[in-house]
Amino acid sequence: MTLQQIRYVLEISRSGSISGAAQALCLTQPYLSNILRDLENELHITIFTRDRKGVALTDTGKEFLQYARPLLDQEERILALYTHHVEQPVFRFSISTQRYPFIVKAFFQFFERYDPQVFEIHVRETSMDAVIRDVHEKQSDVGIIFLSTATESFIQKYLTLRNLEFNELITIDPCVFFSRNHPMAIHDEIDLNAMAQYPFASFETVTSVPIDFSEEALLLNLTAIKKRIYVVDRGTMINTLTHTDAFSIGTGILSEGFAGPELVSRPIRGHKKEIHLGWIQRANDKVSDEVAAFIQEVKRLLVSKQ
């Protein structure tokens, strides 16, 4: 089977007849019929049914094209990548981050400053274990995670086993997030015991993932929480906190345009400097100019929030 044969099958399918396809391809009908027959014999399938009106794909033929068409798409990508003259190289950059709106904001500020003309970027907002996996498997150039006082020892060992290193950016007081209309929003500081009557919203994790990978700082006795709301994505989390009296726990950093103006954060009484926000990269790898510029943008944003 060749890519050319696949092209011929596609054209026959579009034309609805071998003669029409032959005319479009500037080939003779007998030659095209022979190519089709050779392909069907090679694969031991019937791609088209034939009658006086023309041809129609069989179920097997439809299945064949589902698998074959992506091969032509991939060929086009390869040709575009290696044969077309591009004046500027393609800018490729990928980050994985826990669900922090301020990191997404920092990324796009970095991207705007870099201003590439030809680019392919990946921004993955996901769970901590997935961030670590992305960087370990070289799916992302850099990852953003946090360590807490409760999880630091475990996560550091987990990173070391995967030849990854954690570089701290800032130490933050953990905060409670909730709607600006929440009954507790009148307080400048929150006693966590007073939050027990309200639903606790958290990001759902895979059952097999240790609790140390929780998206929220582990400051609560989770078994004592009677009202819990689990969400998967940041958009649903923002909507949940905005439209209910639920709360969550995190860094306290809210970025205009990226975290919903309806939310506020308050520091937690008795908990200071317990969140260590940082970036991870493969150990001993040279820090690329792009990663360095992105991290600098994150630092600039964090300074502005202090």
* Helix/strand/coil for 43: helix
State the Cα–Cα distance between residues 22 and 38, nearest whole angstrom: 16
Region 7-16 average pLDDT? 88
* Dist CA 213 CA 218 (whole Å): 10
Closest by CA to 21, choosing from 46, 57, 45, is 57
pLDDT for 98 equals: 92
Report whether pLDDT(15) > 70. yes
DSSP string, 199-229: PEEEE---TTS-GGG-SS-S-S-GGG---EE
Residue type (1 letter), 286: K
User: First-to-last CA distance in the chain?
Assistant: 63
Give the mean pLDDT of 92-104: 92
pLDDT at 84: 60
Domains recognised in the chain with CATH numbers: 3-82 (1.10.10.10), 89-306 (3.40.190.290)
Q: What is the pLDDT of residue 219?
A: 56
Segment 134-158 shows an average pLDDT of: 91
- Residue 107 CA to residue 126 CA, distance in Å, equals 15
Average pLDDT for 246-265: 84
CA distances from 162 to 129, 136, 154, 166, 292 (A): 12, 7, 13, 12, 22
Block residue for tokens 């630092």: 299
All residues at 6 or more sequence positions from 68 whose CB lies less than 8 Å from its CB, including other chains: 6, 9
Q: Tell me what pLDDT residue 73 has.
A: 86
| Residue 218 · residue 150 · CB < 8 Å | yes
* Six token digits for residue 175: 């905060």
Quick one: average pLDDT of 143-170? 91
- Residue 85, pLDDT > 80, answer no
Average pLDDT over every residue of 162-176: 93
pLDDT band at 299 (very low <50, low <70, confident <90, very high): very high
Q: Is residue 92 over pLDDT 60?
A: yes
Task: Determine contact, residues 250/146, Cβ cutoff 8 Å.
Answer: no
Least confident of 41-55, 246-260, 280-294: 246-260
Q: What digits encode the pLDDT tens for the residues 59-80?
A: 998 998 888 888 888 888 887 7
Asked whether residue 284 carries a pLDDT value surpassing 70, the answer given is yes
* 55: helix, strand or coil: strand
Average of per-residue pLDDT across 168-180: 92
Q: Is 151 helix (H, G, I), strand (E, B) or coil?
A: coil
pLDDT for 196-218, tens place per residue? 899 999 888 765 555 666 655 55
- Residues 6 or more apart from 145 whose CB is under 8 A from it? 97, 98, 128, 131, 132, 155, 166, 277, 278, 279, 280
DSSP letter assigned to residue 99: S
- Strands 200-203 and 228-231: what pairing? parallel
Which tokens sit at 192? Answer: 């966590």
Q: What percent of the chain has pLDDT over 70?
A: 91
Over range 128-132, report the average pLDDT.
92
| CB neighbourhood size of 45 (10 A) | 13
